[in-house]
Amino acid sequence: MLLLLLVCLSQALIGFANPISPRSDYLSPNSTGFRMQHGFETILVQPFGYDGFRVRAWPFRPPSGHEISFVYDPPLEGPEDGKAHGMDYDTAFNGNRSVTMRNGNTIVRTSGWGGNPGGYRLAFYRVETDGSETLLTNEYAPLKSINPRYYHWNGPGSEFSAEFSFSTTPDEQIYGTGTQQDHLVNKKGSTIDLVNFNTYIPTPVFMSNKGYGFIWNMASEGRMEFGPLRNRFTANAASVVDYVIVSASPGDYDTLQRRLSALTGRAPTPPDWSLGYLQSKLRYENQSEVILLAENFQKYDIPVSLIVIDYQSWAHQGDWGLDPALWPDVASMAQQVKNLTGAEMMASLWPSVSDHSENYLEMQANGYLSATRSGPGTTDSWNGSYIRNYDSTNPQARRFLWDTLKRNYYDKGIKNFWIDQADGGALGEAYENNGQSTYIQSIPFALPDVLYYAGTQDSVGKLYPWAHQQAIEEGYRNATSTDVGTACDHISLSRSGYIGSQRFCSMIWSGDISSVWETLGLQVASGLSAAATGWGWWTVDAGGFQADPTVEWSANIDRPEYRELFVRWLQWTTFIPFMRVHGSRACDVQDAFTCNNEPWSYGEKNTPIIVSYIKLRYQLGEYLKAIFDQFHQTGRMIMRPLYMDFEKTDPEIARMTRENSNATTQQYMFGPKLLVTPVTVPNVTEWSVYLPRIDNSTKWTYWWTNATYTGGQNVTVPAPLEHIPLFHLGKREDVLSGNVFSS
């Protein structure tokens, strides 16, 4: 029995190293790909970009070639020289031979299994500098197993569900997969549902410590599973399965990010002002309150770059304009804010449309609203009213949305938009019925059975948030006569996203998180996973969004316990891509429609600390522009998990990353020179930090004392409330000047 298990394992993990087939053909270096027929199934494999392959597979009916895809064809970088691949290939066979194709340093090989000389399994290798080959992964096929490419038909149509399995080993580490509130940087052992909810943005893009990157290029909902021997990806409803794999040397994560971002998109550079301090709360109620806010920023001499008007500032869901009873002169307000502070303004929009909205009848008549596959078509409820969501997958609906926003906001001076509730399906709350009923707090299905212009929730649900971001991007680009990928004049803020969301002028935030210490710690790992997925434009609600009902002081600005948490949270956001404050606050004394959340709201002792970090953020302006520019040019991460830079020089980093220890889930590099370790528990005056080893001579310098330390050790440093544990490499003046990539 043991012998049989060993044989099975060897077949699954290394069987393709020596193909069983007696015939193995190397395709020419300039091959456009091969098409393999395997019974009723067809597999198309093409060299794609540098060091990569794109694989598409389908049973029976061939795809049209116009299916939803989140990868560029051709990639932004690669040997294609601007020529799209489409469905091209130059070699066709029916699975009765073994074929090998090479693209750069990556090889794909077909082979049989279980003594069969056919070539219907795929394996991917990296070619090493000495000419040897290292298996990256192959289709998981131990003896007597279900086919690694598995299809199932759920209904009368041609759409199918699919499960694709690939080999892995217990020591493989997986980085990326979007964001989950799980405190993990290494996702090995995780099962991740591909359904978007508030705080949960699963995205099937990942890097492996074995030296490859992977994109499950599917709009369908499904699942990712990272087991000890098998990685499995499922699609609930599809007409073609589509994935891409690229490779690089182990530990060269910058090259992997460059390859992946060439496929999924490079981020543009943000406007300089957006790198400053962004102010928000739930919620500024009217025009007078916003003008008073701007006057107070001027009075306290605190820099601010953006002031946000949050939700329910409209008369009805779906109006996509400010309620004129509360905001009588939008253009005048925006200009006064600009004159007082220099700040831009942002307004929130929800995708929901009530039948009370002035836009409802026109949108319903023109098919701009998503429906449900049965019943009256309502997708959620809010404030006692049933609502429908606009259909972001419909190009005409996207245009209608932007035209409305432009008329009501953009043309009046509010040119930045908060894409809230962008998760798709419903309003994105997985755990409640939005207060429609006191007695129903949890409904026993994930999302309504929504029908979109582009398909169903099952088949294209992952497209919804991406297309919602696209609606604003298309509007920006048309309004400014600029192209996607060029520098952004304005920005959007989205609660959700998907593969390639970084190509838009849009930052993603971690959702409506709770205002407690544990949640602060969770956000660090979440941001590092966002970075590994390719999203450099990432942020959080500093201070958390909402109170934890089990913690008496949570989110209360008048309680010393929460004030301490807020200060620690705020100082950490100085060192993430966008520094942003937001949240629903409680207070003992209330003097506005909602409790205050401004820098001066947290007590006389704390205000100078808060202001010092806001001003430090502006002092880091040149450094921020330099790291955002690198992200734009090459996909080089801004928030950098420690494995990115130190896996090769410090064996402890690899071990700690594998184990998801605090040193690797709570510490990271911010750009190439700053090591950040936020304080995530209360009542401390010192903090232990692991300093990665680089070489025998490079020293780490503690920002606050200028004390220097060698790497490869834990050090304990003073960390009073005024100081976040922060170290730098090289000269401080180089950090402040942004001169950090020249040497």
- Residue 193 falls in the annotated catalytic set: no
Beta-strand pair 277-279/306-309:
parallel
At 152, phi and psi to the nearest 5?
Answer: -150, 135
CA distance 594 to 232: 46
Q: What does DSSP say about strands 416-419 and 344-349: parallel, antiparallel, or unpaired? A: parallel
Q: Are 216 and 226 contacting, i.e. CB atoms less than 8 angstroms apart?
A: no
From 491, 503, 499, select the one nearest 539 (Cα to Cα): 491
Question: What secondary structure, in 3-state letters, does 355-419 show?
Answer: CCCCCHHHHHHHCCECEECCCCCCCEEECCEEEEEECCCCHHHHHHHHHHHHHHCHHHCCCEEEE
Do residues 237 and 154 lie in contact, with contact meaning Cβ atoms separated by under 8 Å?
Answer: yes
Q: Where are the beta strands (DSSP E) in 301-425?
A: 306-309, 344-349, 352-354, 371-372, 380-382, 385-389, 416-419
**Side chain identity, residue 263:** L
The three-state secondary structure class of 398 is helix
Asked if 207 and 643 count as a contact pair (C-beta separation under 8 A), the reply is no
The residues that bridge with 212 in the sheet, in sequence order, are 208, 247
CB burial class (10 A; 0-12, 13-18, 19+) of residue 301?
Answer: exposed
Q: Which residue in 380, 391, 423, 512 is the catalytic one?
A: 512
Catalytic residue among 310, 380, 420, 423: 420
End-to-end CA distance of the chain: 58
Is 512 a residue of the active site? yes
Question: What DSSP character marks residue 253?
Answer: H
Q: Cβ distance 507 to 492 under 8 Å? A: yes
Q: Which two tokens stand for residue 627?
A: 């790291």
DSSP string, 630-673: HHHHH---SEEEHHHHHTTT-HHHHHHHHTT-HHHHS-EEETTT
Residue type, 191: T
Task: Tell me if 333 sits within 8 A of 295, measured CB to CB.
Answer: no
- Tabulate helix, strand, coil % of the chain (nearest 5): 25, 25, 50
CA of residue 506 relative to chain centroid, distance: 11
Distance of alpha carbon 597 from alpha carbon 584, whole angstroms: 8
Sequence letter at residue 499: I
Cβ–Cβ under 8 Å, residues 641 and 664: yes
* Tokens found for residue 217: 């290029």
* CA atoms of 254 and 59, how far apart (whole Å): 36
The token duo for 437 is 């009923």
Classify each residue of 679-688 as buried b or exposed e, where b means 16 or more C-beta atoms within 10 Å of its C-beta.
bbeeeeeebe
If DSSP codes are grouped into helix, strand and coil, which group holds residue 518?
A: helix
CA gap 660, 188 in Å, rounded: 10
Structure tokens at 480: 């400014």
Q: How many CB atoms lie within 10 A of CB 367?
A: 13
Residue 624 to residue 188: CA distance in whole angstroms: 32
Closest CA to 23 of 124, 133, 141, 111: 111
As a whole number of angstroms, the distance between CA 221 and CA 456 comes to 10
Q: Which residue has the tokens 């996207």?
A: 398
**Which tokens hold the place of 716?**
């304990």
CB contact at 8 A, 296 and 283 = no
In whole angstroms, how large is the CA radius of gyration of the chain? 26
For residues 46 and 54, is the Cβ–Cβ distance under 8 A?
A: yes
- Which residues are the active-site residues? 420, 512
